[in-house]
Amino acid sequence: MASKTVIMEASSKDVWDPANTNSKQPPEWFIGELKELDGTARAVFEKYSGLSPDAVIPHIVEVRNRAFDIFPYPCIGLFRFLDLAIRKSPNYPEVLQRLKDGQSYLDIGCCFGQDIRKLVADGAPSENTYGSDLRMDFMELGYDLFLDRETLKTKFIAGDIFDPDSPIKQLDGKIDIINASSFLHLFSWDQQVKASKVLVSLLKPQAGGLIIGRQMGDVEAKECPVRSRPEITRFRHNGESFKRMWKLVGDETGTDWQVDVRLTDTDLTRLIGTPVDWLPAGARAMSFTIRRL
């Protein structure tokens, strides 16, 4: 299954490969300086992490730079992780309440685990929360970023979602809510179907299971070749294709899902606020709610 890891990581290396000493320039879209910080994120770093106001931005930039050296994901290079995207989900109040009521939560492809920190900062107990990522080093950097190694009870599990022997299997049938943010869009249609079936198996086998997230969408659903390795594709969904995929996942797992998909009218480059030449013209921010019936 190591090949799956290579497949999903092929995209950014055409512009910047931290492992290649001949290629030490960050890509053009990389945002080096963090000029301002949204009030919600600032509150987490000051109140939850206990940083002084002046220390917040230098601290974030220092940890972010270490993460970008590990792998140059756009969500890291563009500071997108500071959105704390889960709070923008229409399901956020429900998710927070369900966690307070003792339900279990998994952030899949969590990277730093910033959405977990937002929930915990807002009063969710961390005991029933899990984060999982291919790379333990990103989750370790999450402790450095939020300064909560001694207090956070979240269990972080490193594993490849496509690995049939992944340690994530220990959560099979145990999770009430999954957050899959900027995750499924890393993969082709076939891989997304496989990954979605794993998500189904991680949820408790009962009505009410919830999968939420945001990712890159497109007005036109299509497989998009990765620039450096055109033999590899990532499927960009619109609302219709995402629902169609979940109908297939439901049929193949014997489950039923109510799927709600939201695509922004504004193109993604404008939302990100910096020119990103690898974004297709029709790219949109997409968010979704998938609820087991």
Ligand X SMILES: C[S@@+](CC[C@H](N)C(=O)[O-])C[C@H]1O[C@@H](n2cnc3c(N)ncnc32)[C@H](O)[C@@H]1O
Binding site for ligand X (CB under 6 A): 4, 8, 73, 75, 81, 85, 109-111, 133-135, 138, 160-162, 181-183, 186
State which amino acid sits at residue 106. L
For 40-77, b/e burial (b = at least 16 CB within 10 A) is: ebbebbeebbebeeeebbebbeebbeebbeebbbbbbb
Residue 256 CB, shortest distance to ligand X, in Å, is 26
Residue 293 CB, shortest distance to ligand X, in Å, is 26
Residue 83 CB, shortest distance to ligand X, in Å, is 8
Q: In the complex with ligand X, which residue's Cβ is closer, 22 or 66?
A: 66
Query: Residue 214 — φ and ψ, nearest 5°?
Result: -130, 155
- Spacing of C-alpha 236 from chain mean position: 15
Residue 110 CB, shortest distance to ligand X, in Å, is 5
Residue 112 CB, shortest distance to ligand X, in Å, is 7
State which amino acid sits at residue 260. D
Other CB atoms closer than 10 Å to residue 250's CB: what's the count? Answer: 19
Query: Computed over its alpha carbons, how large is the radius of gyration of the chain?
Result: 18
CA distance 65 to 121: 24
CA distance 56 to 145: 10
CA distance 99 to 130: 12
Instruction: Enumerate the β-bridge partners of residue 155.
Output: 130
Q: In the complex with ligand X, which residue's Cβ is closer, 118 or 292?
A: 118
CA distance 1 to 268: 32
Q: In the complex with ligand X, which residue's Cβ is closer, 181 or 293?
A: 181
CA distance 24 to 19: 9
Q: In the complex with ligand X, which residue's Cβ is closer, 53 or 121?
A: 121
Q: In the complex with ligand X, which residue's Cβ is closer, 76 or 124?
A: 76
Residue 104 CB, shortest distance to ligand X, in Å, is 18
Q: Long-range contacts made by residues 218-222, C-beta under 8 angstroms, separation at least 24?
A: 218/280, 218/282, 218/283, 218/284, 219/263, 219/282, 219/284, 220/282
Which residue has its beta carbon closest to ligand X? 109
The CA–CA distances, whole Å, from 106 to 1, 143, 273 equal 22, 17, 30
User: Angle CA(277)–CA(280)–CA(282) in degrees, nearest 5?
Assistant: 135
Structure tokens at 249: 């996942």
Q: In the complex with ligand X, which residue's Cβ is closer, 73 or 257?
A: 73
Residue 228 CB, shortest distance to ligand X, in Å, is 17
Q: In the complex with ligand X, which residue's Cβ is closer, 89 or 182?
A: 182
Q: In the complex with ligand X, which residue's Cβ is closer, 101 or 223?
A: 223
Residue 221 CB, shortest distance to ligand X, in Å, is 20
